[in-house]
Amino acid sequence: MSLPSSAPAAPILELDGISKRFGPVVANRRIQLKVYPGEIHAVLGENGAGKSTLMSILAGRYRPDTGRILLDGQPVSFASPAQALARGIGMVYQRFMLVDALSVVENLLLGHARGRFRLDIDAACRKIASFSQAYGLAVDPRKTVRQLSMGERQRVEILKLLLRQARILIFDEPTAVLAPPEVESFFRVLRRLSRKGHTILFITHKLEEVLQMAQRISIMRQGALVATLTPRQVSSRRELARLMVGREIVLNVHKQPSNAGEVILAAEGLRARDDTGQVLFEDIRLHLKKGEILALTGVAGNGQSPLAAALAGMPPAFEGRITYRGRPFENSRWQRRPKPNMVYIPEDRHTTASVGPLSLTDNFLLTRLKNFRRQAHLARGRARLATGDILTRYGINAPAGPQSLARQLSGGNLQKFILARELDRRPDVIIAESPTSGLDVRATEEIWRLLLQQREQAGVLLVSGDLREVLALADRVAVMFRGRILATLSTARAEQVARIGLLMAGVPEKANRHAIEA
Amino acid sequence: MDDLIFIVAITLKSSPAVLLASLGELISERGGILNLGVEGMMLVGALAGFVTARQSASLALGLCGAMAAAGLLALLHAFLCVHLRADQVISGLAVTILGTGLSSFLGRPFIGQTGLHFSSIGGTWIDGLPLIGPLLAQQNLFGLLCLAAVPALMYLLGRTWLGLYIRAAGQDPAAADAAGVPVAAIRYGCTLFGGCMAGLAGAYLSLAYTPGWKEGMTGGQGWIAIAMVIFATWHPLRALLGALLFGLLNALQFYFQATGIELIPAYILHMLPYLLTVGVLVLVTVLEKPVLGSVPGALGKPFSREE
């Protein structure tokens, strides 16, 4: 590897004292960073460390408050992403910037087709094909973006930048939405781009990726750049994690073997379609036992979310039968039935699970109303005390106690509050959807502990696409692909764990077409 | 046979206003801006067209006047919705109220006046054409030229970069912006185009269909045009179909009046365009599946880069 530390090459990009604040929050603090031509440079940090802000400044989305950006040694300043792109800096955001209703070729023509009035779709397709070939970015230019997998959409984003002659490509958490095999092919693309002289910057918080891919690693913590090193200088993942978090952390929650009891929730032959007739999920058979954590995993959009919602008694309407504590329920009766001992933690903690402009006490009352009212009268004083009580017991950091507004809480604290609110009523079934998405390591650890504790008296259905989380918590894993459960595997058996990734990508396996019930 | 020609001729004659207005609204909505001000813009266009043509003794200038006046209202709507990111429904309603009030106030001196108008193209060699001769004879040049807007807009939307930009701005302005599409400019342009078309639609009424100025002379055709965009599921060809359907109902009304045969009471016929609109809305909502392709995803949503 030609490493810049020994190479005499001049940096292609240099950040000199970049600072950026949003209101009272300092997102970036006097950042110094050099990026060399052709390297793959990882920017590692926890959520909220300021990585995305820094990269967005580079890509022209934000303007820095202070500091300079030097491109090829010349100071530059960008008023818009288009200006940055004109100078060869392009970014692929976590949320892909594609118009779903348009075709691939139309998306690629957007923004630089202004030569002639008439669009020459055929010529554009030929040009795209030649780029696809050269960089190993296979995608059908005439398909509508809506029909593409996440991996294909990412390739379209990369093609978009390449067609505009980007030399520096920035990726924000590029592997977050990809299935493991897609990640592999994405990495191959990265290497090929780098070999062809493109400079790659990618944001991540996944240590494995950094060690596998990066030629240099910059680590950010609380808005500051704390170190830039090469993988050789890193002695262990633990050290990398320590640099990232600033303290010794072990992301290992101690899990006792499960002590599963009777089946508490079971589903038989569930299926549902959305408004447009697309299958959301079908042929679903699963059972959840008391005392275990069952994970429902898969790449986002393969039916896990609607299935979890249906199990929790929310829309979509479904066909099939759900058995709860030995009593069978048909679809509509299940949805109408009150479920005092079942809790549902939706993925979107900001808009589905809580109401931002209301106080924590009011948010507490949203799901706990029954215990705090007599006819129309609301026992607010008692509710406030109860809210204060869970804040202390669960160690939730709220600026103004029970009177804080939900939107004032950080993501981690809000999630803890929501969990606390629900767990406090001692449920026997917990359905939690991506409970730690977007949370930092510390908050993740605490949420995991809370869920593991619940295993004592309840069955937990964990819906998560994060394999790390699934393996840390679950006793059994049901893998979903295109609306079906492909297999249910035991996390205690290594040879079964190894298959999860392939199953998530829908790679068919004859051997376990019939679910293995652990 | 004569009856049929009568009905078809009147159908053709009474549909251009709705056609023009709905094509304009269609482009505006494809770009992501809902314009409920069509009715007001049509009224202002009708008055301005009539007055300009009368004072300048030029029909062409009359059309320009109509476009300019309605275009100004459209710019106001665009400024509120694109620049200030105001609620598009409220802004549109305000523009309609403003246009209605302005036209009735400024138009008072012109009520009952006569002026220039487009005359029918009959009385020439056209009469002699087989079959379509008597049909065309009752049409005027303006109304016939409107039909050309349909293929022109289909070409624009489907085959040109401008059309691509418009569709992108209406579907996903954030993604379009990231790709370098000047979303605000596109949306301004689409709204302005919609306004000018509404102005022309108004001028068709005051210069060709029922020459002269009368307060509230659009009679709700602006609202029908908005409903027709939904009926057309944002496609120009189906917008033509909608406008012809509106024209047919109108023609039937005349036909029953003229012949004295009242198969359907006049009151019902008066109501039909509106009932049709309601029916279409219900149908489109129920059957939305197969036609969703061109629905602008970001219709009515303001766009700002900060979020």
Q: Which residue has the higher pLDDT, A507 or A121?
A: A121
Interchain pair B167, A99: CB under 8 A: yes
Pairing of strands A459-463, A327-330: unpaired
At residue A510, does pLDDT exceed 60?
Answer: no
Residue B128 lies in a domain: yes
At residue B228, does pLDDT exceed 80?
Answer: yes
Q: 3-class secondary structure for A349-400? A: CCCCCCCCCCEHHHHHHHHHHHHHEECCEECHHHHHHHHHHHHHHCCCCCCC
CATH number at residue B98: 1.10.3470
Chain B residues within an 8 Å CB radius of A107: 175, 179
| Band of pLDDT at residue A428, cut at 50, 70 and 90 | very high
pLDDT digit string (tens) for A48-60? 678 888 999 999 9
Restricting to A residues 249-278, those with a Cβ less than 8 Å away from any Cβ of B are 275-277
How far is it, in rounded angstroms, from Cα B272 to Cα B252?
A: 11
Interchain pair B179, A111: CB under 8 A: yes
Interface test with A, best of B159, B160, B172, B284 (most A CBs within 10 A): B172
How many angstroms away from the CA of A495 is the closest CA of chain B?
Answer: 43
Q: Which of B18-27, B189-198, B221-230, B252-261 has the lowest mean pLDDT?
A: B252-261
pLDDT of residue A92: 92
On average, the pLDDT of chain B sits at: 89
Interchain pair B172, A101: CB under 8 A: yes
Interchain pair B164, A98: CB under 8 A: no
Residue B299 lies in a domain: no
Residue B306 lies in a domain: no
At residue A514, does pLDDT exceed 50?
Answer: no
pLDDT digit string (tens) for B237-293? 989 998 998 899 888 888 888 888 877 787 887 777 777 767 877 777 776 554 445
Q: Which residue has the higher pLDDT, A240 or A227?
A: A227
pLDDT digit string (tens) for B90-121? 999 999 999 999 999 999 999 988 888 898 88
At residue A25, does pLDDT exceed 60?
Answer: yes
pLDDT digit string (tens) for B49-84? 999 999 999 999 999 999 999 999 999 999 999 999
How many angstroms away from the CA of B303 is the closest CA of chain A?
Answer: 14
Residue B39 lies in a domain: yes
Interchain pair B181, A93: CB under 8 A: no
How far is it, in rounded angstroms, from Cα A457 to Cα B209?
A: 79
Residue B182 lies in a domain: yes
How many domains, chain B?
1
pLDDT of residue A5: 47
This model of the complex carries an ipTM of 0.83
Restricting to B residues 120-139, those with a Cβ less than 8 Å away from any Cβ of A are none
Q: Please state, as a whole number, how many other Cβ atoms lie within 10 Å of the Cβ of residue A134.
A: 11
For the record, the structure tokens of B253 come out as 């009304």
Q: Nearest by CB to B179, which of A100, A110, A276?
A: A110
How far is it, in rounded angstroms, from Cα A364 to Cα B121?
A: 75
Interchain pair B180, A111: CB under 8 A: yes
* CATH code 3.40.50.300 region(s) in chain A: 13-245, 251-341+426-518
Please say whether the beta carbons of A56 and A204 come within 8 A: no
Q: Nearest by CB to A101, which of B160, B165, B297?
A: B297
- Give, in order, the Cα–Cα distances in Å from A378 to each of A369, A372, A375, A390: 8, 6, 8, 19
pLDDT digit string (tens) for B139-164? 889 999 999 999 999 999 988 999 99
A25-34, A233-242, A270-279 — most confident range: A25-34
Residue B26 lies in a domain: yes
At residue A470, does pLDDT exceed 50?
Answer: yes
Please say whether the beta carbons of B92 and B36 come within 8 A: yes
pLDDT of residue A375: 79
Q: Please tell me which residue of chain A has the smallest CA distance to B297.
A: A101
Residues 6+ apart with CB under 8 A from B55: none
Q: Report the candidate in A41, A46, A78 with the shortest Cα–Cα distance to residue A170.
A: A41
Q: Nearest by CB to B171, which of A82, A101, A118?
A: A101
Mean pLDDT of A299-312: 86
Residue B134 lies in a domain: yes
- Give, in order, the Cα–Cα distances in Å from B126 to each of B2, B134, B138, B139: 17, 8, 10, 11
For the record, the structure tokens of A233 come out as 């200088």
pLDDT of residue A18: 94
Interchain pair A97, B178: CB under 8 A: yes
Q: Which of A97-111, A169-183, A233-247, A271-285 has the lowest mean pLDDT?
A: A233-247
* Candidate CATH numbers 3.30.70.270, 1.20.120.530, 3.30.930.10, 3.40.50.300; the one for domain A13-245: 3.40.50.300
pLDDT of residue B260: 81
Interface test with A, best of B161, B166, B233, B292 (most A CBs within 10 A): B161
Task: Determine contact: B156 vs chain A, CB below 8 A.
Answer: no
Q: Which of A4-8, A298-302, A438-442, B271-275 has the lowest mean pLDDT?
A: A4-8
Interface test with B, best of A103, A110, A120 (most B CBs within 10 A): A110
How many angstroms away from the CA of B211 is the closest CA of chain A?
Answer: 38
Mean pLDDT of A73-83: 89
Task: Determine contact: A282 vs chain B, CB below 8 A.
Answer: no
At residue A513, does pLDDT exceed 50?
Answer: no
Quote the percentage of chain B above a pLDDT of 90: 59
Distance of alpha carbon A81 from the chain centroid: 24
Within A75-229, where are the H helices? 81-86, 104-109, 121-135, 150-163, 180-195, 207-213
What's the domain range around B179?
Answer: 2-294
Task: Determine contact: B157 vs chain A, CB below 8 A.
Answer: no
The CATH architecture of the domain made up of A251-341+426-518 is 3-Layer(aba) Sandwich (3.40)
At residue B87, does pLDDT exceed 90?
Answer: yes
| Band of pLDDT at residue A509, cut at 50, 70 and 90 | low
Q: Report the candidate in A379, A383, A418, A428 with the shortest Cα–Cα distance to residue A403.
A: A383
Restricting to B residues 277-306, those with a Cβ less than 8 Å away from any Cβ of A are 288-289, 292-293, 297
Q: Nearest by CB to B161, which of A99, A109, A276?
A: A109
Q: Report the candidate in B61, B56, B37, B31 with the shortest Cα–Cα distance to residue B172.
A: B31
Chain A residues within an 8 Å CB radius of B292: 276
